[in-house]
Homo-oligomer: A and B are copies of this chain.
Amino acid sequence: MLCDVRERSICADLSARDMEQVERIMAHRTVPQNKAILKEGEPNDCLYVIVSGSFRLTKYLEDGRRQVTGFLFKGDFFGVRACDESAYTAEALEDSLVCRFPHAFLEEISTASPGIKDRLIARGQTEYHKAQDHIVLLGKKSAEERVLSFIELVGKSVGATADEDGEGRVIPLSMPRQDIADYLGLRLETLSRSLASLKKKGVLRDIGRKSLVLSG
């Protein structure tokens, strides 16, 4: 079975011979909605590539406060760390499919396909830069600015489609409000009010549970 995310992912660097190996070793795995595939503090020895669906990454404070540190979509991957325990929890936002690579296996075939490591470095940097943008968002932006930035980010990640009128861009949302609020460092109610306010101002054309429509 072939992923349709191959060209965007690690497999793109593999030779035909290595690909055979991959197809023997790797495992596709379905992850039901809200099920964790990786848990903060638990050991992890695999890299996961998202074939379809989406995930949230979360971290918890000792007292239970939860922060969503990122959302991942098709083609993204997580679980890079080769050693000890995971720094975050990864949960499916919807029924999803991932491709699983043991680190040991990656290490092995990377001697033949060193491009794999370059991919990991580059992707690591991309994630780091996204985290920095997130930091700017949390450190310096107002509630409404955060919400707008989030919508644009999702739009870029999953792609926006034109709505019926051809006037607006539809942004699909696979996550509930609470996840968005926890990503933005806001309370549910503040997120809701910010969305309402953006709609009143005409920035948002429509607010749905599973999608938003941006004006223009």
Contact = CB atoms under 8 A, between A and B. Distances in A.
A59 B128 contact: no
Contact of A135 (B80, B81, B82, B131): B131
Interface in A43-102: 57, 59, 61, 65-67, 69, 80-82, 87-88
Contacts of A183: 139
A127 B120 CA distance: 14
A26 interface: no
Contact of A121 (B111, B117, B135): B117
A128 to B, nearest CB: 5
A201 interface: no
A114 to B, nearest CB: 7
Interface string A172-208: 0000000000111100000000000000000000000
A191 B83 CA distance: 36
Given A121-B121, A127-B128, A128-B124, A139 B82 contact: no
A39 interface: no
Nearest to A80: B125
Given A61-B136, A135-B67, A185-B139, A80 B114 contact: no
A140 B88 contact: no
A34 interface: no
Interface string A108-130: 00010010011011101101110
Contacts of A185: 138-140
A28 interface: no
Contact of A139 (B87, B88, B129, B182): B182
